[in-house]
Amino acid sequence: MGTLKMNTYQAKIGYARTSTVDQNLDVQIEALTAAGCGMVRQEQRSGTTLEDRPELKNILDFIHPGETLVVTRIDRLARSMHDLQTIVARLKEKGAHLAATEQPVDTSTAAGKAFFDILGVFAEFETNLRRERQAEGIKAAKRKGVYRGRLPKIDMEAIQAKLGAGRSPTEIAREMGVSRGTVYKAKAQMASDHNGNGVQMS
């Protein structure tokens, strides 16, 4: 019985996060401690992937079966619906749970699991709608004759025109926001085209 009590005490791991160092973590840490978290990991950064949030990644890597990751709010944990689903999937793989102190979220309960199942349905719905809107937009643009696909990012002809006007590669690169290597590539291409068109064999 003593071992069970000890495991229960250690079962909650808190995670506090703010997106910038200007924001204070104290309120989150206090709430997580009051919720029974024996350990509270914290970081102040806005990351879009788990690699950008090393403390959270450590929790997901080392959390044990039966333990619960606790946050104050879901938006302190995930940066998007997809991000949230990824985190929950990792916790499921580990046999661990997720709970929030300020929201009705607890994946160790049937209601909590149902809540996340619903979230998953809405996430898929949102993704499908986005794809559908994108496809409709492309179709409408094609009907109007304004869809040309992805435009090239670098205008090689403009670079060659500037070279032809005697501008230096460094000046052109700075002005057009490209590397000097790109300018030299345009220059070599221009020389190649010139030789190919201008050389005649008698």
Distance CA 160, CA 191 (A): 10
Q: Would you call 19 a catalytic residue per the annotation?
A: yes
- For 199, phi then psi, to 5°, come to -85, 125
Full DSSP string of 26-58 = HHHHHHHHHTT-SEEEEEE---SSGGG-HHHHH
Strand order from edge to edge, sheet including 97-100: 39-44, 12-18, 68-71, 97-100, 105-106
Residue identified by tokens 């004759």 is: 145
Q: Which of 19, 46, 80, 108 is catalytic?
A: 19
- Partners of 17 in beta bridges: 43
Rounded-to-5 percentages of helix, strand, coil across the chain = 60, 10, 30
Longest dimension (CA), the chain: 101
Which residues in 142-153 are b (16+ Cβ under 10 Å) and which e? eeeeeeeeeeee
Residues with catalytic roles: 19
